[in-house]
């Protein structure tokens, strides 16, 4: 089945640790995105990539880093610089940019700092 | 950044009722409007992508309209069924279709009682 796979589903991190969230897609999509969801808020864009080896900061990139070495993969690292990392993280992809094309989403990773 | 408002925040209806939600956004600097359905424990799935003023789209019992001049979109569900229970997200695109970003509202959560 084609789709987006995020792992792990749940992740616990100690304060001061970096942690990496995985996102893999087999849809052959060029563009990939990371969003964060907090209670009562809409999805907010962290980072996005329109093509391999290129990525851009979204609206809330501070404390996060990404890489796009392969078309299929767009991992997100939550660094110790992220002040409030506990949240639900969604990865998405689209064929081309999200203008007239829909985004496809993974099932998310819930990160909790303990 | 676009300020996107969805109303109501939550809605409880009986099976068979018809219902509608609103998505409001500033009408300038806009290139597309996406609607997504997000069922609990699943990934958000695209319902509609609309780009033109006056666009009307339909998928089964669900339809949507777009008014770009006044900055709103309506989502209608005719004869709600329990399987329609989900959070419905709207996401206008800010900027251009090549470089702009989707800005998500906080969603309308629908519960359909059998």
- Looking at the DSSP bridge assignments, the partners of residue A25 are A4
CA distance B93 to A42: 14
Tell me which chain B residue has its CA closest to the CA of residue A39: B106
Q: What string of pLDDT tens digits covers the 114 residues of chain A? A: 679 999 999 999 998 899 999 999 999 999 999 999 998 888 999 999 999 999 999 999 999 999 999 999 999 999 998 989 999 999 999 987 666 788 999 999 999 998
Terminal Cα-to-Cα distance of chain B (whole angstroms): 40
User: Does residue A97 sit at the B interface (CB-CB below 8 Å)?
Assistant: yes
Q: Judge whether B93 and B49 are in contact, CB under 8 Å.
A: no
**CB spacing of B31 vs A99 below 8 angstroms:** yes
Interface touch A99/B32, C-beta < 8 Å: yes
A22 close to B (CB below 8 A): no
All residues of chain A having their beta carbon less than 8 Å from the beta carbon of residue B102 are: 45, 98, 103
Q: Residues of A with CB below 8 A from B46's CB?
A: 102-104
Closest alpha carbon within chain B to A103: B46
Average pLDDT value for residue range B65-93: 95
């Amino acid at each position: 089945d084609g789709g987006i796979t995020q792992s792990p589903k749940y992740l616990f991190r100690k304060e001061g640790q970096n942690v990496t969230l995985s996102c893999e897609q087999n849809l052959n999509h060029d563009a990939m995105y990371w969003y964060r969801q907090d209670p009562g808020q809409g999805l907010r864009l962290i980072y996005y990539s329109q093509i391999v080896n290129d990525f851009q900061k979204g609206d809330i990139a501070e404390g996060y880093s990404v890489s796009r070495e392969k078309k299929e993969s767009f991992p997100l690292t939550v660094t110790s610089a992220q002040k409030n990392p506990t949240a639900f993280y969604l990865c998405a992809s689209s064929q081309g940019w999200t203008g007239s094309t829909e985004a496809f989403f993974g099932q998310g990773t819930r990160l909790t700092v303990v | 950044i676009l300020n996107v408002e969805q109303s109501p925040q939550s809605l409880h209806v009986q099976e068979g009722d018809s219902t509608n939600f609103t998505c409001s956004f500033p009408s300038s600097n806009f290139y597309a409007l996406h609607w997504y359905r997000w069922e609990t424990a699943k990934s958000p799935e695209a319902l509609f992508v609309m780009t033109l003023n006056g666009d009307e789209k339909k998928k089964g019992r669900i339809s949507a309209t777009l008014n770009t001049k006044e900055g709103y979109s309506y989502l209608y569900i005719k004869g709600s069924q329990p399987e329609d229970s989900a959070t419905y997200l709207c996401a206008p695109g800010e900027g251009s279709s090549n470089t702009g970003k989707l800005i998500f509202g906080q969603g309308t959560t629908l519960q359909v009682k059998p």
